[in-house]
Amino acid sequence: MQAPNTIAAADYSVANKPTLSGEILMYLSPDTHAEVGAFAIAAANSGTWTASSPDAAILAAAPMDLVAMVDSNSLNAGATDVVLTVVGTDADSGALTGTATIAPPGYSTMTAKVFQQGYSVDVVVSGSKKFKTVASVTVACAVDAINAKITLFALPASATYVQIGCKTDLNFTTKSQTPTSIQCGLDKTAYQKPGETEESTISCTGKLFGFSEALSRFDGVRCTALIKVKKEAKLVTDHLYFLAATLKTNARSGEGGDVATLTTEGKYEDLVIMPAP
């Protein structure tokens, strides 16, 4: 599974505290993702599954866990959760069924079933089996979810990530559309519409340990970036995956006792936001 572990009720108070910058950790993996396909919701309990043929070969060669991501500008599910049922095969070509339930976490103070672009959940299967193929996807949802798009991804294994030590700065933009104002007469904001999606960027600065280490080794590499939010050194509340990130690294050193740093700046294709259940 790609989301953090389920948060126990006894830890809800910790999960809902503000986050310190030092509690945000960054990791990089040289492996990339596979986009399995997309499901477009057309009506209550109905929609269309479109598989991604090029990436099917990646999944067939190396079966993986799947995640389901909100791939429209937002999703308002109404009164009920959006539940996807994914049917396919496992590594041994046996039948495999998984369920992805798009719902607010139990500890969240916001209980409305409204989700931003990128909000994601695991496709949960019995045991530790992984998907080799996906044959079909169906949905259970209210009419409110019409026109939402849900994309299935396979992400790199957790063992492939390397932590970026001594991070000093981290910035990124999300994938939502930038609001656009339309003028009418003298009123410059008479109308508001979702506009273009800006270029998705991520940057991180860390201490320079050497050019054989972490940030340096990812210069120019197409990779997957992972941000973990770990509160009070014990409770992981969020995983954010930046897919198909390509990074450019720049070094900086000052005079005398100044600490040398590396800054990596890049762009990515998709942002998978996975709060702990």
Asked whether residue 197 carries a pLDDT value surpassing 90, the answer given is no
192 and 106 in a single domain? The answer is: no
Residue 185 lies in a domain: yes
38 and 69 in a single domain? The answer is: yes
Q: What integer pLDDT is reported at residue 20 of this predicted model?
A: 96
Instruction: Tell me how far CA of residue 201 lies from CA of 172, 213, 244, 271, in angstroms.
Output: 5, 22, 11, 10
Say if CB 242 and CB 224 are below 8 A apart.
yes
Query: By three-state DSSP, how is residue 156 classified?
Result: coil
200 and 139 in a single domain? The answer is: no
**Average pLDDT in the 114-120 region?**
96
- Domain finish residue from 111, 128, 154: 154
pLDDT confidence bin for 3, thresholds 50/70/90: very high
Q: What integer pLDDT is reported at residue 53 of this predicted model?
A: 84
Q: How far apart are CA 176 and CA 173, in angstroms?
A: 9
pLDDT confidence bin for 54, thresholds 50/70/90: confident
174 and 245 in a single domain? The answer is: yes
146 and 210 in a single domain? The answer is: no
Query: By three-state DSSP, how is residue 60 classified?
Result: helix
254 and 268 in a single domain? The answer is: yes
- Domain finish residue from 112, 133, 154: 154
148 and 169 in a single domain? The answer is: no
174 and 197 in a single domain? The answer is: yes
- Domain finish residue from 96, 128, 154: 154
Q: What integer pLDDT is reported at residue 8 of this predicted model?
A: 96
DSSP secondary structure letter of residue 124:
B
Range with top average pLDDT, 83-97, 172-186, 195-209: 83-97
Say if CB 228 and CB 185 are below 8 A apart.
no
Residue 102 lies in a domain: yes
Exposure class string for 1-34: b at 16+ Cβ within 10 A, else e: bbbbeebeeebeeebeeeeeeebbbbbbbeebbb
Asked whether residue 80 carries a pLDDT value surpassing 90, the answer given is yes
Residue 16 lies in a domain: no
Q: How far apart are CA 77 and CA 96, in angstroms?
A: 27
Residue 213 lies in a domain: yes
Question: What total number of domains does the chain contain?
Answer: 2
119 and 142 in a single domain? The answer is: yes
Mean pLDDT of the chain: 94
242 and 186 in a single domain? The answer is: yes
Residue 109 lies in a domain: yes
148 and 164 in a single domain? The answer is: no
39 and 136 in a single domain? The answer is: yes
Tell me which residue range forms the domain holding 198: 160-275
Q: What integer pLDDT is reported at residue 1 of this predicted model?
A: 85
Asked whether residue 215 carries a pLDDT value surpassing 90, the answer given is no
Structure tokens at 170: 């981290």
Residue 17 lies in a domain: no
Residue 112 lies in a domain: yes
Asked whether residue 117 carries a pLDDT value surpassing 90, the answer given is yes
Count H helices and E strands in the chain, helices first.
Answer: 3, 20
What's the pTM?
Answer: 0.93
List pLDDT tens digits, range 224-267. Answer: 999 999 999 999 999 999 999 999 999 999 889 899 999 999 99
Q: What integer pLDDT is reported at residue 274 of this predicted model?
A: 98
Residue 192 lies in a domain: yes
